[in-house]
Amino acid sequence: MHLLPAPTFAQQINNINISPKRVVFSGSTNNSVVYIFNRGDEPVTYRVELVDRLMLPNGEIRAKDELINAGTEPDLIKNFKSAEGMVQYTPRRVTLQPGQSQTIRLRLLRPASLADGEYRTTLTVSALPPENIGITADQAFAEDRGELSIRAIAQFEISIPLIVRQGQLAAGVRIENARASGQKLELELARSGSRSVYGDIEVRENSEGGEIVGLVRGVGVYGEIDRRSLEIPLNRAVRPGETLHLSYREDAERDASAQATEKIVAQ
């Protein structure tokens, strides 16, 4: 069997950009927009859809249907609250020329009887293979070589969370079980309250005003889990006995944002 590569398509879909990186519907906000942009040099057709995805305690994001079919993570599935049925979006399919952008319009239909809490789904944009990327019958079965040829085409997609918040929700966060050695920091973020958290982790020398030795942006802990483990690369090796100041802060745009700090001694 001979495998035929399809590099051109892989290069095309890797050039998609999406903004913003998350959408939160709270208070009286019921409309929003998302922009997708083709940064490549070939036209690409995209499919737009809503897909429920869950966060695992290690931070991995998996499709809900995939977990159901695998019979895994029943507690997470039970805790998850879907927003898929509340959000309308358009368009659902679009072809973008090189350098062209498209607005995806979102509209939230919040049920009158919606219970307080946080609900979530993801807006997923998938690049569709061009019609001419297939292979001919002669290519598929090359008699002169006596072998079967196939072409593997990967499914490339990008997703952002759509979050619906109903009622007055609050959250807290703690840094726990942190340990640092060499150029690596391991820790757990413990979340409490009725909503998810999303923010940045900083690792500084000695104090809050010290030099940054590690930084990770956009770290979320979603509502179906109450703690998440992380491994943070450091930009230099820490010395045994060195004091490190750790902090987690949610985005500044949010009122009463969750924060946490911790001091540890490197091993």
Domains, the chain, in order of start with CATH, read 2-166 (2.60.40.10), 171-265 (2.60.40.10)
DSSP assignment string, 117-164? EEEEEEEEEEEEPPGGGS--HHHHEETTTTEEEEE----EEEEEEEEE
Residue of 193, 198, 195 lying closest to 251 (CA atoms): 198
| Helix boundaries (H) for the chain | 7-13, 64-70, 74-79, 137-140
Please state, in angstroms and rounded to a whole number, the distance separating the CA atoms of residues 110 and 117: 12
Which residues, 6 or more positions from 251, have their beta carbon under 8 angstroms from its beta carbon? 198, 199, 257
135 is written with which tokens? 């292979």
Res 187: pLDDT: 98
Res 157: pLDDT: 87
Amino acid letter, 120:
R
b (16+ CB within 10 A) / e for 241-266 = eeebbbbbbbeeeeeeebebeeebeb
The three-state secondary structure class of 186 is strand
Tell me the pairing of strands 23-25 and 156-166.
parallel
**Cα angle, residue 229 at apex, residues 158 and 190 outer, rounded to 5°:** 105
64 is written with which tokens? 């809900």
Chain centre to alpha carbon of residue 133: 29
Instruction: Burial-class residue 118 by CB neighbours within 10 Å (0-12, 13-18, 19+).
Output: buried
Distances (CA, A) of 240 to 183, 244, 247: 11, 11, 20
Res 145: pLDDT: 55
- Encode the chain (267 residues) as per-residue pLDDT tens digits: 444 444 444 445 568 899 999 999 998 999 999 999 999 999 999 999 999 999 999 999 999 999 999 999 999 999 999 999 999 999 999 999 999 999 999 999 999 999 999 999 999 999 998 766 555 545 544 555 556 555 555 567 899 999 999 999 999 999 999 999 999 999 999 999 999 999 999 999 998 899 999 999 999 999 999 999 999 999 999 999 999 999 999 986 555 688 999 999 999
Please state, in angstroms and rounded to a whole number, the distance separating the CA atoms of residues 22 and 254: 13
29 is written with which tokens? 């906000």
Res 144: pLDDT: 52
